[in-house]
Amino acid sequence: MSRHDRTGKLQTLVRLLSYREALAKRRFAQRQEAVDGAQSKADELGGLAREYRARLSDTGEAGMRAGDLQLWRRFNQSLEEVVEMQSLQVERLRAELEQAQSECLAALVRRRGGERLGENQRRRDDDRSRRRERVATSDRVAHRDHET
């Protein structure tokens, strides 16, 4: 395989690895946004649940009717379930974020490996070229010496 063919193939490989790295970074950023949004929603719901719990204890002490108190407690229980579901969603998204981070790191390592491979190949090709030039120069000198 010629030097040009190897160089072209290695450049194509590095471009592909760079593309995959950029894709992994975009996925990571999307997962981070999803986690941030879900966490914000969880915080908001948690604050709302705390506020309603406080109202229930304040109102309950003030003398709420039994039927209204029961409805209020059911509402608070439902709200707590929603808070729990949102917390589970945040945990799931965090796991996806960790996976995306691992994929991003792996893509970075592969791209850098491809770049090193290309650099090593260029050095080997340059060394070969220099050796050929030295041999050619030695042959010319030997041929001149032989003619004189």
pLDDT in tens, 61-84: 567 787 887 888 899 899 999 999
Which of 79-83, 113-117, 136-140 has the weakest average pLDDT? 136-140
| % helix, strand, coil for the chain, step of 5 | 95, 0, 5
Whole-number Å distance between alpha carbons of 60 and 83: 22
The tokens for 52 are 């309603």
What integer best gives the mean pLDDT of the chain?
90
Q: Which of 80, 82, 81, 99 is nearest to 34 (CA)?
A: 99
Place of tokens 């080997």: 124
Mean pLDDT over residues 36-52, rounded? Answer: 95
pTM over 0.75: no
